[in-house]
Each structure stands twice: as C-alpha cells, then as structure tokens.
Amino acid sequence: AVCSMGNSTSRLYSALAKTLSSGAVSQHQDCLEQQDSARLDPIDPKDLLEECQMVLQKRPPRFQRDFVDLKKNTASNHRPIRVMQWNILAQALGEGKDNFVQCPMEALKWEERKCLILEEILAYKPDILCLQEVDHYFDTFEPLLSRLGYQGTFFPKPWSPCLDVERNNGPDGCALFFLRARFELINSANIRLTARKLKTNQVAIAQTLKCNETGRLFCIAVTHLKARTGWESFRSAQGCDLLQNLKSITQGAKIPLIVCGDFNAEPTEEVYREFSNSSLNLNSAYKLLSPDGQSEPPYTTWKIRPSGECRHTLDYIWYSQHALDVNSALGLLTEEQIGPNRLPSFNYPSDHLSLVCDFSFNQDPDRLL
C-alpha cells in the first residue's frame, strides 16, 4: 500500500512511484539517444530524499561514513569537484545470476533497493556520478537525476548478461552523470573496448567537460572491465586500449583526467600496473587513505556466493596527479558495519562500496608531468 503523504509531496511521490514499476524494454533500441530532460520539472533533492526514506522506513538506517581530509597546505580558489564511483549491482543480476546466498530476496526488491541507491547518491551530492551495472537507466536514473540537474549518458554492454535473466529490464552498462550548472560538455566518446584487436563486451564513456567556475577543461571517464579469474591478460589488453583512447582524448595528458571504474582487478594485476605506470601520470585516489599513501584499501567489494566468501579491491578512482589534488575521500564501511552476511543487504544495496572523492585543480597548471 502507498502511504498518504499530503498534497505537498504527492506529485513527487507519483513520479517516484512510476519509476518503480515502469519498464524500459521498448526503449532498448534507443539506449544511446539522449533524452530531453528540459521538459521535466525540477525536483528538490531534499524532497526526493524524504520520499526515499518513506519507502525505506521499515529498513535499518543507512550506514554512517565519514570523509577523510587529505588536503595539502595549498588553498584552492574554487569549489571542489566531487566525483562518485559506484557499481550499483544490476537488478537482473542481483535477483537472477549473482546468487548472494546470505542475502534475502526481500532485500533485493527493486521498489526499495532503488531508493537505497538514490539515498546514497543524495547523501553525498556528487557533481559527477560514474556508475556500472546500470539496467534501470531510462525508467529510473535518467528521469530522476535529470530533474535534480544532472545530464546523463548511458552506454550498454553489447551482450549484457542481464538479457539472459527472465523478466529483465534491458542490458546493463556504464552511466555518467554531471551537474549541468557546474560543467559544460565539450565532447563525449562511447568506447567499446578491444583486446588483441578484437571488440569485447566491455565499454567506457569518456567526456571532456569545462568547469564553469574556472574555465578549466578536464576529462572524466567511466568503465567496467571483464570479470572473473583467468581473464587477467584480457583485462590488461582492455586497459591498454582504454589508456590509448584516453591519451588521444586528453592530448597526451594536456587535459587533466579522472578515470572511475570497476576494474575487476586487484592491485597485484597487470592492468593496475599499466594505469600506475602510464604516461598519463595517474595515481589512485584511495591509496591516499593508507598511512603511507601507497596501499589500496583492503576491500571495495565483499560478498558470499555458493563458492564461498569473496573480499576484493576492484574499484578505483584514478586521477592526473600533476594537475589535480585530492582534498578528501569517503572512508569505507568497516567489517562491523557490513555484518556477517556481507553485501548486499537490507542496509546496503550493492555488493560494491561507493567511492567518493573531492578534487581541486592544482594551482600550478604548468607543473611538469
């Protein structure tokens, strides 16, 4: 039953409720087309957050995570750019293929899980949002986020495993959103990654944005590399292809770069070393949370499948360390918060943790690479 919430929120709730049940199956063919968000009324983020919390009132409260201040002594002359990276878990895979044996099916109901995802996004208010495993782009995320002031792009996998699941909502893919008030889109590239000259099922989106406040250009990219053990050299080839594309887009690192993604690779893998040693001079932002600034977090995903418990570091935010400073990073959930049944759960909607960083442009843009 839908609770009565008074006239002030009923129109908004109606819009939110529509996204709970509407399907996007008829729109699969049009998934590369931009929607006209200007025709939709804006939403106040506080109102949408209240609506989500109303839907979630029988669930435990969301976990508390704190930002860790990483500022150097240099002062920035502009508002930080907050970037959020998150594999949100495709609904079709969560219900159908991923087989999280300790997670009750009730916890995966889309009507509530989508509100948990939105609550996480609304809590951290990113300027740029990079998502993987998005299979509800057209009926949920694009309509709602566009009304919050975001411009979105979606690029599905050519052969999404979601399509093998009965009653799926279309293919999953990568999505990139940025606030229209803060940035201007200069150019956008949808990249189908290759490995050994063969086109693969993995994709990336790379966009060059202009920061309205500073006039500075930067490139933001989102990707999701091939999963599973045994595919390490394949991921390495995909990473090389992505780096080559990004070198071209950034004119050989003249344009600062941020790359978000689920790389499906531990820091010991070759693809990680390729990004670390690239001529683009990239650093991994979450290393800065470690005492020595050299170690990745102990995990970014933690789940239990029939084959056993999996705790891995697979998700990263890479950035041009010559041009950008990391002001702060969102701390991860503790083992105690995650709980013995791991992720996803009634508390948390995905098997991957969201990563959030605040960036500022370095005050010496001509600093040598």
pLDDT (tens digit, 9 = 90+) per residue, 39-74? 578 999 999 999 999 999 999 998 899 999 998 766
pLDDT of residue 6: 38
The band of 96, judged by pLDDT with boundaries at 50, 70 and 90, is confident
How much is the average pLDDT of 246-273?
Answer: 97
Q: Give the residue from 163, 138, 153, 235 showing the smallest Cα distance to 194.
A: 235
How much is the average pLDDT of 256-264?
Answer: 98
How much is the average pLDDT of 145-166?
Answer: 96
**Using CA atoms, how far apart are residues 218 and 211, in angstroms rounded to an integer?**
8
Least confident of 19-33, 51-65, 248-262, 323-337: 19-33
Tokens of 83: 């970037």
The band of 364, judged by pLDDT with boundaries at 50, 70 and 90, is low
Tokens of 333: 């959930």
pLDDT of residue 17: 63
Least confident of 97-101, 113-117, 172-176, 263-267: 97-101
Confidence (pTM):
0.91
Q: Report phi then psi at 257, rounded to 5.
A: -135, 140
* Sign of the dihedral defined by the CA atoms of residues 142, 188, 223, 166, in that order: positive
Residue 12 has pLDDT above 70, yes or no: no
Average pLDDT value over all residues in the chain: 90
| Beta-carbon contacts of residue 42 (< 8 Å; ≥ 6 apart) | 147, 148, 149
Query: Could you tell me the domains of the chain?
Result: 80-361 (3.60.10.10)
Q: Give the residue from 230, 30, 55 showing the smallest Cα distance to 137.
A: 30
Residues 205 and 222 sit within 8 Å (Cβ to Cβ):
yes
